[in-house]
Amino acid sequence: MKEVARVPSEFIEKIVQIRRVTKVVKGGKRMSFRATIVIGDGVGRVGVGVAKAAEVPSAIKKAIHQAKKSLIYVNLVNGTIPHEVFGKLGASRVFLKPAPKGTGVIAGGVIRLVLELAGVHNIVTKSLGASSVINNAFAALDGLSNLRKLEDVAAERGVDLNVRFAS
């Protein structure tokens, strides 16, 4: 059997959770494995993937493929996010707040993984509502995808950023 050399990926892959799940069918219970993966490049791109398969390695492979399909670009300003934002999925809510340099990533569990792989260095977060690992990961992703750039908001409002206001 020929050994296949694995091509190094541009992404950092972290396994968040592997669970054994069962499906009740006519003949009894059918077992499979569910893998939850977070991938990111550490400079603004991050994605979350969840997949099931009969064996753990194939579940991980499928989850990585899902995570690559769900990649988002995160708008970062000096290692933090530009403004406060809420992310939601189901009963899970995640509050993300920018923090000054030197604060670090103040987050717990899977939210910390998502933020670190996105390349955020200074942020304060609070997980509200349900504590589901998968929902919190996707809620953090939702919050990061809701971030807006200053230029986009100014263009929407018809404001020129180059004009200095007299105080």
The reply to whether 137 falls in a domain is yes
Choose the final residue of a domain: 69, 84, 110.
69
Q: Note whether 36 and 62 are within 8 A (CB).
A: no
Residue 94 maps to a domain? yes
Number of domains in the chain: 2
Range of the domain at 141: 75-152
CATH of the domain at 141: 3.30.230.10
Residue pLDDT, tens place only, 46-63: 999 999 999 999 999 999
Asked if residues 123 and 81 have their Cβ atoms less than 8 Å apart, the reply is yes
At CB < 8 A and 24+ separation, what contacts does 46-55 make?
Answer: 46/71, 46/72, 46/74, 46/114, 46/117, 46/118, 46/119, 46/141, 46/144, 47/71, 47/72, 47/141, 48/114, 48/137, 48/138, 48/141, 50/134, 52/21
| Position 165 in a domain | no
pLDDT per residue as tens digits for the range 8-28 = 678 899 999 999 999 999 999
Residue 123 tokens, joined:
């942020």
pLDDT tens-digit series, residues 93-118: 999 999 999 999 999 889 999 999 99
Q: Say yes or no: 63 and 93 in one domain.
A: no
pTM score, whole prediction = 0.86
Residue 139: half-sphere exposure toward Cβ, Cα within 13 Å:
27
Q: Residue 95: what pLDDT?
A: 95
d(CA 130, CA 136): 8
